[in-house]
Structure 1
């Protein structure tokens, strides 16, 4: 009798309406047609390009001090000052535009990396729980409940308060404290799809559990979480700024939104731009991400017959 290996297994026919990758592409196309998404994406792209290119092209060191140029106001305030510092300088003469853009780099890096950690942990555990069920599901869900009972900011303050708050540590702490939502969403999708015919057909053909989870079930999770993950990038950027503001984020002299604003709060009366300019960049970035996330959510609701 001829044995059948996984490489001999033909593609299992899955209806187009049930294929996660196909639905994700449809959501993306509908969102791209939205002026709101395009506007948000345009702002986001400009900010990212500015953060990546301007500090390098300008040649200005964001940590270089210059007492002679300290507390110079931005040129648009009518001060007799060079446009080499378009957003002014801080209390020790550092260029605020460069510092704000470098801070944007770190904020985006931490936000995107944290969401990636959340996706990997949450989707993996949720898929395993939904596929196997029983005791495995019970253990993972009780772990999820325990994690949800601990406020994220409290956990982050506790862990980072007793350890050095490096960038990898911040990403790991925020990611480990926020994965349960992805686990629950993934579990509900997998539990529904687990009983369908194409999964049973794959089992009959001899596909392993890992292959079924990765090739058939994992793509179906994309539509429910695609807009949630986009909005979570903005949420993680806010939490990173909060941690930096209270001294538990990336430590100076590395500029981040949180520690720049914290330094500038002492000068709000006579040098308001120190704390305001990073806040403006943060608000613009968060607004652009929220516009894209909202457009993706409406596109998803439109496909699934919800309200747009």
Structure 2
């Protein structure tokens, strides 16, 4: 266990970009916005024929909502050229009044990426490309007259960056390996693991790698946001981790904050169940905020 970083808590929903369920998907966005959730994340799998394009969907959601912030969870870097990705994020941030964050990943499902015309990268190449992409994105969001970034996979050669985002967009990484966890500690603003890949017992070691690199770079680890994609079901009876009644959810999420270092929870439910999302927003999120505030006050 790593303990509490003391960060502000946020809650959101993990929406499935199913092209055959457009009206339900837009309803999920409306519910998230109206019920006070902070974030809405959308998977980015361009090679998945059933899925809508993530950026088109995020733009539509931003236009139909008033307060919820949107982000790709996470953008597939091998199919998203980082300079253009930075411009897209900055543009949507301006158009939405500062309601965009950016989460990126090094890549997965390499057969599908290659089939769509993207590069097939080794783990080392993927890590190097992501590190270079971070520098490119930061440069494209700067107010410099022109910027240069040297790189093997991505480079800038005197391009004029812009537009500058409406607010300091969070640059979050969906990474798991030690090399990229260290890079996250050095240069990123947040970490986005999923409970299906990283159960609570694995979090401490990964936090430690991030924190060690952050301290070595002169950064305070508590500056780094810890976003957890969580998948489960709110049910009458307990069936295990995040499978049970509201009280169990409150207790387990509170423990994830105070003992396991997470501060933001993005809820994915089977079939984008609107009742589950509403319960999460109206009952679970406020109760977790209250429980954590009480513990922090002691």
TM-score by length of 1: 0.22
Bigger strand fraction: 2
Bigger helix fraction: 1
Larger gyration radius, structure 1 or structure 2: 1
TM-score by length of 2: 0.23
